[in-house]
Structure 1
Amino acid sequence: MLHFPSANSAAHRPSDRDVAILGGLLGDDVWAFSNCRVDAPGKPVAEIDWLFYNVRHGTLMVSEWKGFPQRVVSATDTGEPWRLDGGMAVPNPIEQVSRQLDAVRSVLRAEILPQHFPAFDPQQLLLMQSVYSPQVDGGTAIERIRWGKVYGSLPALAAVISNSTSRSPLVMSEEGARLRVATALCALFRTTLPTEVKAKLRGPLAGGDTDFVQRISAIHRQIAALHVELADLTLIARVSVTVQPRPAATRTAPAPVSPTLTEHQRMNAHLAQSFQGVNGNSDAAAKALAKAWKLVLADPLLHGETGISISLFGSVGTPLVKRHHGSLPKVLGMPLRKWCVLQARAAGMKPLDVPGKPSNIRVR
């Protein structure tokens, strides 16, 4: 897979792990543009999670990626919300990706086809659409979707991207056109053209080194994914290690040693890490909050005598979303405490009320 990430340094980024998985599943005939910004005349600015272009088959797909606090119970076609475990209704992502597809199709017809595919009839341009959510599983009731598909696993999504064909394929007439088309698409969708990708688009290296270069690129992606995972584990380990008390000289219980970080600092560390690279996209902010709350739930030093402080989580998290979205309940679609309880249950925990502390919960 040739990956063209967003040129906006403040834009949300896909996880390195997901990029590495896709890179292992998709060949270099698949171009993947992530976190694109599309300005189509007469339409609202569209933020696209992924645009896939299989240049060998001439197929294109707009894909919306969604993370939900609980598993998806039912995924319906347009006109109805999706339902999660516990009965929560969420906006239908099929409707969202349909609007995005309209914007992508409009700009391709106006900006790309006339210059790079002059013989192609713009009215014949076909794009697939999909929604990927890891909370979709074998038990999800997926209604017959008229336009597009819903996927719960990356291998299933990648298989469609790799193998689908079109009755009106958008295929380049010559190999040399690939770099020109890729450059134009990057400019249109505000993504970057990495140096190693540009080298591949220029053609095979002398001496038959193409496979060697591809393998080095794959290794770099895998190393990047491992570094992200190690960073997460390091932070959790750093804030989770309890300091052992010194041996007592008497039978009297020793006074506990103060932890290195305060409760506020620990909470702030989890939220700051989770919001790295998140911009004004409300879905990205909600995902970052979910990631931070999972880190809090996994941090035993935030489980004090009075439980976990939801109010502290809210006070630290509010400045991260207030500028773009106003309040945490607005981003989450419900009161913060209710959302935290649902998240804990989704993680397999049993949240309990704390007498006299309505903003705190205990989990077990």
Structure 2
Amino acid sequence: MLHFPSANSAAHRPSPRDVARLEELLDDDVWAFSNCRVDAPGRPVAEVDWFFYNVRHGTLMVSEWKGFPQRVALATDTGKPWLLDGGLAVPNPIEQVSRQLDAVRAALRGAIFPQHFPAFDALQLRLMQSVYSPQVDQNTIIERIRWGKVYGDLPELAAVIANSTSRSPLFLPDAGARRALATALCALFRTTFPPEAETKLRVSPKGGNTDVVLRISEIHRQIAALHAELADLVVTAAGAETPAGQPTAVGTAPKAAVKDLPATVKTPPKAPALTEHQRMHAHLARSFQGVNGSAVASTKALEKAWRSVLGDTLLHGETGISVSLFGSVGTPLVKQHHGSLPKVLGMPLRRWCVLQAKAAGLQPMDVPGKPSNLRVR
């Protein structure tokens, strides 16, 4: 995540822990502007907690972050206050973020689009809106929200920011426009342009007009295809313990026939058994064959691979199934597009594996002394 914090030294600052968590969950294709002050003609000045721009998908989000003294018992749509445990009513954050969104939309149309997106129809601009509060939990009653959504889980919100698409995506005209747009947005939102963002946004094209990102993606798909082919060959070799046409029980053949075998004929060596890593890799490589890199396709491939692992009894050792091995083998297959497995899954890997095992009708259990392993039955 590229973070552009407020330039106002007196402004409220996000929690360093929250910023660090977002940087862990989001890659540098997401620009995050925090504690923005937005001046739109004819509108009150808006104070925006977070504005996110996913340059890869062309999506934008205005997000209001709220902390409450008690757990949120009821989150309502506009027109009614929210209720906390104990019956305390608080101003509705959905109404607040809706006003902020109107100001941001007007500011973008007036100050950003004419110069940086002249070909984009400003009337087609789509902005997502959200409210995040750690006091929202699984027992909070959330009414049907007409516009936007309420989140109490930061990885879930980050997954939406990272993976959502739009019917009218706001794509940059070319890679060289990244720094100019980031500078303009910092000026609009009154945020700073940190040195690390300067470094990451500096574009150095190689190979003429080659689309570097596209070429890297193609190379990864080619590598995945080769790994899948190699996995098939290894599995085939492991099953070919005897050549075609040779009896599987040589000891039952007549002794005379054995004596008549030419001296040069030798019993072929038995193929070595696959290691745990090779078996895990084979399941993942097969599942990712043909995957185009989208979050949905990658998630489905991970589900397919994990189901295969659950069905492979040779991976259910004395200490159960190694979730960490599944993660280490699977990470390179999604890292190019999504950064990490928790990011594409929207939750920690072990929690996801437990939920998938339960969905398959199994009973996952912890393994004493092996916190990264699962035993299923």
Higher relative contact order (CA 8 A, sep 6+): 1
- The match for 1:148 is 148
Residue 66 of structure 2 is aligned to residue 71 of structure 1? no
Structure 1 unpaired stretches of 5+: 207-364
Q: Deviation above 3 Å: which 4+ runs of structure 1? A: none
Letter in 2 for 1:15: S
How many Å separate the matches in 2 of 1:76 and 1:83? 8
Output one character per residue of 1:32-64: Cα deviation in whole Å (capped at 9) or x when no partner.
000000001111100000000000100000000
Matched, 1:194 2:182: no
What letter is aligned with 2:49?
A: D
Report the 3-state secondary structure (helix = DSSP H, G, I; strand = E; otherwise coil) of the residue aligned with 2:56: coil
Is residue 9 of structure 2 the alignment partner of residue 9 of structure 1? yes
Counterpart of 1:26 in structure 2: which amino acid? L
Distance apart, 1:203 and its partner CA: 2.1
Tell me the CA shift for residue 204 of structure 1.
Answer: 5.6
Aligned to 2:112: 112
Paired-residue identity, %: 79
Within a 5 Å distance, the mapping from 1:132-147 to structure 2 comes to 132-147=132-147
CA-based RMSD of the aligned residues comes to 1.4
Q: Distance in 1 between matches of 2:67 and 2:102?
A: 23
Matched, 1:127 2:123: no
1:28-67 alignment runs, 5 A limit: 28-67=28-67
Query: Which segments of 5 or more consecutive residues in structure 2 lack a partner in the other structure?
Result: 207-377
1:159 equivalent in alignment to 2:187 = no
SS of residue matched to 2:18: helix
**Whole-Å Cα distance in 1 between the matches of residues 121 and 71 of structure 2?**
42
Q: Which residue is equivalent to 1:27?
A: 27
- Render the CA deviation track for 1:214-270: whole Å, top value 9, x for unaligned: xxxxxxxxxxxxxxxxxxxxxxxxxxxxxxxxxxxxxxxxxxxxxxxxxxxxxxxxx
Return the letter of the residue paired with 1:51: F
Aligned-pair CA distance for 1:205: 9.8
Deviation at 1:183, TM superposition (A): 0.2
Distance 1:155 1:205 in 2: 33
Separation in 2 of the partners of 1:203 and 1:196? 13
**Mapped partners of 2:9, 2:85: distance in 1:** 35
The superposition leaves residues 114-147 of structure 1 with CA deviations (integer Å, 9 ceiling, x where unpaired) of 1000000010000000000000000000001000
Counterpart mapping for 1:1-364 below 5 A: 1-203=1-203
Counterpart amino acid of residue 39 in structure 1: D
- Aligned AA (1:118): P
Alpha-carbon distance in 2 for matches of 1:40, 1:173: 25
SS of alignment partner, residue 64 of structure 2: strand
Alignment-mate amino acid for residue 189 of structure 2: F
Write the distance in 2 (CA, Å) between the matches of 1:136 and 1:15. Answer: 18
Q: Deviations over 1:280-312 (max 9, x none)?
A: xxxxxxxxxxxxxxxxxxxxxxxxxxxxxxxxx
Secondary structure at the residue paired with 1:31? strand
TM-score normalised to structure 2 length: 0.54
1:271 corresponds to which residue? none
Q: How many residues align?
A: 207
Q: Distance in 1 between matches of 2:194 and 2:155?
A: 25
Q: 1:9: how far off?
A: 0.7
- Equivalent position of 1:269 in the other structure: none
Aligned mates of 2:163, 2:42 — CA distance in 1: 34
How many angstroms apart in 1 are the aligned matches of 2:115 and 2:180? 10
Distance 1:40 1:196 in 2: 29
How far 1:199 sits from its partner (Å)?
1.0
If the length of structure 1 is used for normalisation, what is the TM-score? 0.56
Q: Partners of 2:133 and 2:68 in 1: how far apart?
A: 8
